[in-house]
């Protein structure tokens, strides 16, 4: 992944004090392996979202431990605690916006697909294609802004010091930072999928939207370089003259990909809300 290795990351957590940390460490190892090999494809993103959900399930167990809650509750006002709370709400916002964006994409893809199904010898399909292109142009601009927000968040995240703190507390804070870092990684990959850029490129290339199909190259011959959104976008150039079976296949592939990502995002959104509530509740403990 293009996202840099965060200086907040550690290799292990004190599992004797926090038994749940062992399982969290296993989930983090699994996610880091995904992070190292991930590409902005629907299958990879769906897998990453599933791994992230497993990570949150383990995190919930850690946060429900009385020792964890007591340690965190005594640190209200500490900079690193405020950083975690602020980051958690920002991640929640990004997830919500991304989820809404996926819903809009699904709606526009389905509208265009329906127009193709009922197309006749008129200009209705040309109008539908134009509307879809207008939507994707606006969508990519918004997604690019989200990528900028992620970059800014990454550059500021994990700056507060954990020196002179109880080691068990340091372990908990480190876990929370790791989880947030993984959120940054999975959302970078997902947003790269939407704009058609490579998550393996350098960070300076994040905002470059891929110029598709400068010459006619089929997606089938370059499947490792193109995702479902890109294949459909490439097909729009020849949608009217191209065989409808090919176009329908690409629509169906994209609709299936969107549904899988939507389901994963919905699960993550619920976990993010639950974790956010849990953190806020911990901070109200006397």
**What does the alpha-carbon distance between residue 190 and residue 260 come to, in Å, rounded to a whole number?**
12
The residue ranking higher by pLDDT, 217 or 260, is: 260
212 contacts 195 by C-beta, under 8 angstroms? no
CB atoms under 10 Å from CB of 159, counted, come to 11
Task: Please check whether residue 199 lies inside any domain of the structure.
Answer: yes
pLDDT of residue 274: 93
Out of 119-123, 184-188, 232-236, which region has the weakest mean confidence (pLDDT)? 119-123
Task: Specify the residue for token string 């994707």.
Answer: 136
196 contacts 212 by C-beta, under 8 angstroms? yes
Query: What CA–CA distances, in Å, run from 39 to 187, 232, 256?
Result: 12, 18, 18
Q: What is the pTM of this model?
A: 0.81
Task: Please check whether residue 10 lies inside any domain of the structure.
Answer: no
| pLDDT > 90? residue 13 | no
Query: What CA–CA distances, in Å, run from 27 to 13, 76, 285?
Result: 13, 28, 29
What is the distance, to the nearest Å, from the Cα of residue 117 to the centroid of all Cα atoms in its chain?
Answer: 32
38 contacts 48 by C-beta, under 8 angstroms? yes
**What does the alpha-carbon distance between residue 169 and residue 163 come to, in Å, rounded to a whole number?**
11
- Greatest pairwise CA separation for the chain in angstroms: 75
256 contacts 45 by C-beta, under 8 angstroms? no
**What does the alpha-carbon distance between residue 161 and residue 174 come to, in Å, rounded to a whole number?**
11
72 contacts 282 by C-beta, under 8 angstroms? yes
Counted domains in the chain: 1
Task: Please check whether residue 169 lies inside any domain of the structure.
Answer: yes
| pLDDT > 90? residue 5 | no
Task: Please check whether residue 2 lies inside any domain of the structure.
Answer: no
Radius of gyration of the chain (CA): 21
Task: Please check whether residue 1 lies inside any domain of the structure.
Answer: no
Domain carrying residue 71? 20-283
Q: What is the band of 76 on the pLDDT scale with cuts at 50, 70, 90?
A: low
Task: Please check whether residue 24 lies inside any domain of the structure.
Answer: yes
pLDDT of residue 14: 45
Task: Please check whether residue 7 lies inside any domain of the structure.
Answer: no
CB atoms under 10 Å from CB of 243, counted, come to 9
Task: Please check whether residue 205 lies inside any domain of the structure.
Answer: yes
């Amino acid at each position: 992944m293009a996202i840099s290795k965060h200086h907040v990351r550690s290799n292990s957590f004190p599992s004797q004090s926090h038994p749940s940390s062992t399982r969290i460490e296993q989930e983090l190892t699994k996610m880091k392996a995904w992070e190292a090999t991930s590409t902005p494809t629907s299958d990879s993103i769906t897998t990453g979202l599933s791994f992230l959900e497993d990570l949150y399930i383990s995190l919930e167990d850690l946060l429900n431990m009385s020792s964890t809650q007591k340690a965190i509750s005594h640190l209200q006002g500490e900079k690193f605690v405020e950083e975690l709370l602020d980051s958690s709400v920002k991640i929640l916002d990004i997830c919500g916006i991304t989820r809404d964006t996926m819903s809009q994409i699904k709606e526009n893809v389905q509208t265009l697909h329906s127009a193709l199904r009922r197309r006749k010898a008129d200009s209705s399909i040309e109008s539908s294609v134009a509307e879809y292109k207008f939507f994707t142009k606006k969508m990519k601009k918004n997604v690019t802004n989200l990528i900028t927000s992620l970059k800014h968040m990454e550059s500021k995240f994990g700056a507060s010091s954990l020196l002179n703190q109880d080691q068990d507390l340091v372990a908990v804070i480190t876990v929370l930072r790791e989880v947030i870092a993984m959120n940054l990684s999975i959302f970078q990959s997902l947003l790269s999928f939407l704009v058609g850029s490579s998550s393996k490129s350098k960070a300076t290339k994040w905002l470059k939207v891929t110029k598709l199909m400068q010459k006619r190259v089929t997606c089938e011959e370059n499947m490792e370089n193109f995702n479902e959104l890109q294949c459909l976008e490439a097909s729009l150039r020849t949608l009217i003259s191209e065989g409808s079976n090919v176009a329908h296949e690409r629509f169906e592939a994209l609709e299936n990909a969107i549904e899988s990502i939507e389901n994963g995002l919905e699960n993550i959104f619920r976990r993010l809300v639950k974790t956010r509530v849990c953190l806020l509740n911990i901070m109200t403990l006397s």
